[in-house]
Amino acid sequence: MPTSPVFLDNKSAIAALFQQALATAFPALMASDFKIEVEKPKNPDHGHFAVNSALQLAKKLGKKPCEIADALVTALAPSDLLLGTPEIAGPGFINIRLSLSAETRVIKSVFENADNFGRTNQGNNQKVLVEFVSANPTGPLHVGHGRAAAIGDTLSRLLDWQGWDVSREFYYNDAGAQINNLALSVQARLREKAGVESAFPDGGYHGDYIREIADRYVEKFAHDKAGGELDAVRAFAVDYLRNEQDLDLKAFDVSFDRYYLESSLYSENLVDKTVAHLIANGKTYEQDGALWLKTTDYGDDKDRVMRKSDGSFTYFVPDVAYHVNKWQRGFARAIVELGADHHGSLARVRAGLQAMQIGIAAGYPDYVLHQMITVMRGGEEVKISKRAGDYVTLRDLIDEVGRDATRYFFIMRKSDSQLTFDIDLARSKSEENPVYYVQYAHARICSVLAQWQTQGGGDTSTLKAVDHSPLTSKYESDLMRALADFPETLKHAATELAPHIVAVYLADLAAKLHTYYNAERFLLDDEKLKLARLSLILATAQVLKNGLTVLGVSAPEKM
């Protein structure tokens, strides 16, 4: 597990400074443990940072906000962080400007930490399990799975960067009725090929891939052209599709530490044990020949059947058993990335876990839901239906749009907003994908540095220890503060389980770089200024690269 010194950002440093001033100015307040918050004003006229504590404390202290702000500023210890004296503005905000030396500090920190800049030890190496994709092996992965894969993988990377010990897991529902459907569908195609009269099963899968599987089956099992051996057909179809899915995921640069088979819950008796435990806890009752779980004791709106009158279990029982198993494997924290159409099951799985009474925390597991994707083709919405065989596969997307653009597209929006994927646009105008904007910023910097080297500049590592005092322009100040925001941004994204925050940040950082590039020149005659600027953009390239790495996107030197 890579570690790095935590970069004490300017924001925290300022918060500490004001916390001390608060203690000096209002000693009596210490008992109530008020915490100073430092924020970044949207309006540049309001300085680099702002403190609004005076407004929040007005009522508590029975004083006017302006008086409190004044007392705080007066009590501030001298610091080389600050440029001049903070201003008191509006109803009682304190606006702060950073000194040049405080702003340039981040460049050194970027070089010291390099590929680890932005990492923290917050997770303290605790185990966390991230479950995602978990597609049934009944068809190829489609765009929805792509979104799940991109989000789940990025969440995993984010948590890794926060110092968690992350395990990625894929849960295969290989024991249910859908697998049977798959087998029957393949069998129907086999019979068709063999000229045996038979009807296609109700609810069967109509996609072309079913015929493909049938063709492959006959190649391997020439003696069973009509698919009479259903078990063999089933096993073959599942193996075939699992392999296909693995290839899709590999092309997407997503890998898992473990594939957990639903069937193993049965073969290891975990479902029976879970049910027995719930019965023993008195959380169940018999009614109408079925066994019910009192999920209403834990906030569900009605009780749920666990064991049907025909003796089989409903789907959520193995889900509960699976999560008990996660807990018992030592994952005190678990995150499940799911399509929003599954949200109905969250309450009952959590209720089941609570009813176990084995110390599982009430919110276990965390869920991250992503909304469905509307796919447009030819100006019309494509209704995704695996059963009808109408959908767009993840592989198609990767082949035609590219891995980087596909990943970025799925990540850049908040996961619980619905998004529209226009296939034609993605195919014909893939260069408009915002990921290129970010990658271009990186490539641009590399290009400038390469030219500096051909002019005899030497190794870029010499740029890491130059004097940064010439960096006095507004563009440089904006860029340096953006770099300094990176660690906090990652932390925020990890806390919120919201990968899109990283994408939004990178777009902003790239914009600042492009603006700077167009406003100033780097390869100048003024040696000191040249080196300082090159050093700044070298640090920027490092941060762009680190951010793209967290998203699983490459940072090319040329495009």
Partner RNA sequence: GCGCUCGUAGCUCAUUUGGAUAGAGUAUCGGCCUCCGAAGCCGAGGGUGGUGGGUUCGAAUCCCGCCGAGCGCACCA
Pairing relation of β-strands 290-293 and 304-307? antiparallel
Q: Which position among 257, 341, 390, 526 is part of the footprint of RNA (CB under 7 A)? A: 341
Q: Which position among 116, 371, 460, 554 is part of the footprint of RNA (CB under 7 A)? A: 371
Query: CA of 370: how far to CAs of 250, 334, 387, in Å?
Result: 22, 17, 22
Instruction: State the nearest-atom distance from the C-beta of 114 to RNA, in Å.
Output: 22
Pairing relation of β-strands 49-51 and 87-89? unpaired
Task: Name beta bridge partners: 63.
Answer: none
Q: Which position among 226, 290, 332, 529 is part of the footprint of RNA (CB under 7 A)? A: 290
Structure tokens at 149: 């894969």
Q: Is 344 in the site for RNA (CB under 7 A)?
A: yes
**434 to 453, contacts with RNA by CB under 7 A?**
434, 436-437, 440, 443-444, 446-448, 451
Q: How far apart are CA 235 and CA 218, in angstroms?
A: 14
Residue type, 552: G
Task: Name beta bridge partners: 88.
Answer: 94
**145 to 204, contacts with RNA by CB under 7 A?**
173, 175-178
Instruction: State the nearest-atom distance from the C-beta of 541 to RNA, in Å.
Output: 12
What single DSSP character describes residue 261?
E
Burial of 102 (0-12, 13-18, 19+ CB in 10 A): buried
- 380-382 β-sheet, strand order: 380-382, 373-377, 419-422
Q: Is 479 in the site for RNA (CB under 7 A)?
A: no
290's CB contacts (< 8 A; 6+ apart) are 305, 306, 307, 308, 309
Shorter beta-carbon distance to RNA: residue 217 or 292: 292
Q: How far apart are CA 339 and CA 343, in angstroms?
A: 8
Q: Which position among 234, 326, 500, 545 is part of the footprint of RNA (CB under 7 A)? A: 500
**43 to 82, contacts with RNA by CB under 7 A?**
43, 45-47, 50, 52, 55-56, 58-59
Shorter beta-carbon distance to RNA: residue 179 or 353: 179
The span of 41-49, 191-199, 221-229, 349-357 binding RNA (CB under 7 A) equals 41-49
Shorter beta-carbon distance to RNA: residue 52 or 167: 52
Q: Is 523 in the site for RNA (CB under 7 A)?
A: yes
The span of 27-35, 37-45, 102-110, 326-334 binding RNA (CB under 7 A) equals 37-45
Instruction: State the nearest-atom distance from the C-beta of 315 to RNA, in Å.
Output: 3
Residue type, 217: Y
Structure tokens at 97: 């400007």
Q: Which position among 389, 413, 464, 554 is part of the footprint of RNA (CB under 7 A)? A: 413
Size of the site for RNA (CB under 7 A): 88
Shorter beta-carbon distance to RNA: residue 12 or 447: 447
**73 to 132, contacts with RNA by CB under 7 A?**
89-91, 93, 95
Q: Is 242 in the site for RNA (CB under 7 A)?
A: no
Answer whether 192's CB lies under 8 Å from 148's CB. Answer: no
The span of 156-164, 185-193, 273-281, 306-314 binding RNA (CB under 7 A) equals 306-314
Q: Is 417 in the site for RNA (CB under 7 A)?
A: yes
Burial of 116 (0-12, 13-18, 19+ CB in 10 A): middle
Instruction: State the nearest-atom distance from the C-beta of 195 to RNA, in Å.
Output: 32
